[in-house]
Structure 1
Amino acid sequence: MRHRTAVLALVLVVAAVAPTAGLAAAQTDDGASGGQRSCTFPYTATDATGTDVTLEADPERVVTLNPSAAQTMWEIGARDEVVGVSQYASYLEGADEKANVSGASGPSVERVLAADPDLVLVPNSTYGLAKDRVEQIRDQGVPVYVFGTGTSLEFVANKTETIGRLTGNCEAGQRTAADVCESARLMRKALADEEKPVGLNVFYGYTSGNNTFIGDVMTTAGLRNGAAEAGVSGFAQLNDETVVQMDPTWIVAPEGSPIPNNDAYNSTTAIREGNVVRVDENNLQQPAPRAVDAAETIMQAVHPEAYEEYRSMKQQSNETATAGTTAATETTGSTAGQPATTTAEETQTGAPGFGVAASVVALLGASLLARRR
């Protein structure tokens, strides 16, 4: 229960007190948004607080203050560089081998400094809850990078690519970001002709409205966000009258979270027909690469036929990418160390709302189907 309460608190801070600077503004022309694959150091980037963060060398010791940043490091294959995680990252394989940097009601400054980090990654929710502690860490001369508010899968992709750049894992960050973009693009393509029923996200008395990454996960998976259509912005409570008027066809909720048992909810089509999609909270509640897994879970439940089409397209995309990698290897003898020759314009995914620079198509091969759990 303490874990669920903490998850709720972190999500709510996103809307209430998090930094408002967008991620795009936090990237320099040498960063993820530029389409370049160089991972040279020294490197300077401006974070969501407007602070210029300079890394003199490739960080070898990284501390993450929230599970979303830790999950991203795991997903780009850089978990060995992580020396400290929050207590809520325990679901990640091998996280118990890292230092626990959590303290009472937020990160422990002493534990973070004791981990001797070269870089501290701070998602916006942690900064909102513990700004003074984060600034204390920064005051000790430790590079601290704070991310902006997550509002979409586009943000997840940009954040993933940025973490790869900051930690010297450019190619892996770009590849994983491209996987997020490509997965979202293929879902939307498979769902293009499908009728989108009304969905409602419910978690511990709250819902996800406009400008939330959970809302974007739902719409990418083929639902209309009923809370957003009812005028709800951010993460907020929803009154029973609105629920009745909305009459959601589907309810999306984290595994183990209670669905209100009252007349309002029991009158909805979702409850009457048993249309409740349970999603792993570590995938649904965190703006990190496994949000794609959450979207896939929802899509499979709501649009099973379109989901199968999506999986087929993803398989085909994977085979095409693998063939491209093989051809490149046969031509050059090796794909390692090849310079990036495509422009930023040529590497855009083309997906609606996605401006993150994707890697060369061949780099998608290994990641398109092999989602790390």
Structure 2
Amino acid sequence: GASAKANVSGSGMTAAVPEKVVAQEPDLVLAPNVISDETVKKLRDAGLTVYKFRESKSIDDIYAKTELTGRLTGECDGAQRTVSWMKDRIETVHQAVEGEDSPKVMYVMSGGYTAGSGTFMDTIITQAGGTNVAAEAGIKSYQPISSEVVVEQQPDWFILSAGAKIPDDYGETPAAKENQTVSLNPNYVSQPAPQIVTPITKLAKTLHPEAYAQANVTTTTETTNTDTSGTDSKTTTTTAATTTESNGQPGLGVPVAVAAVALVGLLARRD
């Protein structure tokens, strides 16, 4: 794995600078789908091996991307542990929200924008047992939403960026009247990587605190045992659930995990 990390971004951290990437002399470059084909071509023309990921649109896509990253970097076992950790946490959330009421939730962005259907924020809200009022109002992707529509939708909770406040125009909503807001790490909600589990679990605990606490008390796992006759038998056991905090994530080493979510990941630097 990589022994060090380097900033290969240009001004504003919005684009990779091919010359900075080449200077790192990587054996492998992992490029997210947002990296332009022109940049990828420049890197390949410079003699680098580059793998450009396709766009991830779902949790299943993140599972597949994580496993692919493991294969590309020789960290298959670590990738599988990470995917297993993700699935375990998501299953705990699903157990918690099943049969529960679905609070109305809205993601408040600057400039009057919000996240509708087809966004990872919509996935986070629905996975956590909420209803995305923007999607219910017919908004797709990231679009402006009028204050009239917000009030009409009557959201119970607002998801705010750190330090943001509820707009005055939203005052006649349950979320505003009860000051029911939750802040999610923007780095986690905007990047299709394993840490998307963190905002999903945080939101689930916020929307369904009692149900989540109960679901997280124990985790039921099913293991397969093989007896001396060669016959498989299934045993169900109940064990204490593992932590849901981000620092409890197993699997890929730090360099590999960063490569999976960074603007451009550099791995296995040449000696």
Residue 250 of structure 1 is matched in structure 2 by: 157
Distance 1:220 1:300 in 2: 12
* Partner SS for 2:182: strand
Q: How does 1:245-324 map to 2 (within 5 A)?
A: 245-256=152-163, 258-263=164-169, 265-314=170-219, 316-317=220-221
* Counterpart residue number, 1:99: 6
Map of 1:184 onto structure 2: 90
Where 1:134 maps in the other structure, the secondary structure is helix
C-alpha change, 1:190 and 1:156, in structure 2 (3 Å) is same
Cα pair distance change 1:149/1:266, threshold 3 Å: farther
Per-residue CA deviation, residues 41-67 of structure 1 (Å, 9 max, x unaligned), is xxxxxxxxxxxxxxxxxxxxxxxxxxx
**Structure-2 separation of matches of 1:210 and 1:313:** 33
- Partner of 2:2 in structure 1? 82
2:59 corresponds to which residue?
153
Q: Aligned pair in 2 of structure 1 residues 204, 135: CA closer, same or farther (>3 Å)?
A: farther
Q: Is 2:243 the counterpart of 1:369?
A: yes
Q: 1:371 to 1:135 in 2, by over 3 A?
A: farther
Aligned in 2, Cα 1:204/1:151: closer, same or farther, shift over 3 Å? farther
Match of 2:148 among 222, 232, 241: 241
For the aligned residue pairs, the C-alpha RMSD in angstroms reads 2.7
Give the whole-Å Cα distance in 1 for the aligned partners of 2:51 and 2:203. Answer: 32
1:137 aligns with 2:43: yes
1:193 to 99, 102, 105: 99
**8 Å CA contact retained: 1:120, 1:142:** yes
Amino acid in the other structure paired with 1:135: K
Going from structure 1 to structure 2, the CA distance change for 1:310 and 1:135 (only over 3 Å counts) comes to farther
Is 1:123 the counterpart of 2:32? The answer is: yes
Contact 1:201 1:252 in 2 (8 A): yes
Residue 164 and residue 304 in structure 1: after superposition, are their counterparts in 2 closer, same or farther (change >3 A)? same
Aligned residue identity for 2:172: S
1:135 to 1:236, Cα distance in 2 relative to 1, 3 A: farther
Cα distance, 1:123–1:236 mapped onto 2, change above 3 Å: farther
TM-score normalized by the length of structure 1: 0.57
CA contact (8 A) 1:188 1:220 kept: yes
Please give the TM-score of this superposition, normalised by the length of structure 2.
Answer: 0.77
Q: Is the 8 A contact 1:123 1:146 kept in 2?
A: yes
The corresponding residue for 2:131 is 224
Please list, as runs of the form range in 1=range in 2, the aligned pairs for 1:316-355 lying within 5 A after superposition.
316-317=220-221
The aligned runs of 1:20-35 (5 Å cut-off) are none
Partners of 1:150 and 1:248 in 2: CA distance: 28
Over residues 75-99 of structure 1, what are the superposed CA-to-partner deviations in whole Å (9 max), with x where a residue is unaligned? xxxxxx236xxxxxxxxxxxxx522
Deviates more, 1:205-214 or 1:291-300: 205-214
> Which structure: greater strand fraction?
2
Report SS of the residue matched to 2:194.
coil
Q: Which SS does the other structure have where 1:181 is aligned?
A: helix
Q: Give me the whole-angstrom Cα distance separating, in 2, the residues matched to 1:102 and 1:82.
A: 18
1:108 aligns to 2:17 (yes or no): yes
Q: Structure 1 unaligned runs (5+)?
A: 1-80, 84-96, 332-341, 343-360
Kindly state the Cα deviation for residue 218 of structure 1 after the two structures are TM-superposed: 1.2
Query: Which deviates further from its counterpart, 302-311 or 228-237?
Result: 228-237
Amino acid at match of 1:165: R
* Distance in 1, Cα, partners of 2:143 & 2:33: 18
Q: Which letter maps to 1:122?
A: A
After superposition, the C-alpha distances for 1:113-165 in whole angstroms (9 at most, x for unaligned) are 0111121112223x2xx442232112223222222323222222222111111
Distance 1:288 1:173 in 2: 12
In the TM superposition, what is the alpha-carbon distance from 1:168 to its structure 2 partner?
0.9
Residue pair 2:105, 2:159 contacting (<8 A) in 1 also: yes
> What secondary structure is seen at the aligned counterpart in 2 of 1:99?
coil
Match of 1:164 in 2: 70
For residues 267 and 292 of structure 1, what CA distance do their matches in structure 2 show? Answer: 32
Q: CA deviation at 1:372?
A: 4.5
Mark the runs of 5 or more structure 2 residues left unpaired by the alignment.
Answer: 248-271
Query: Greater relative contact order (Cα 8 A, min sep 6): structure 1 or 2?
Result: 2
Residues 122 and 147 in structure 1, CA contact (< 8 A), matched pair in contact too: yes
Deviation of residue 284 (structure 1)?
Answer: 2.4
Aligned pair in 2 of structure 1 residues 138, 281: CA closer, same or farther (>3 Å)? same
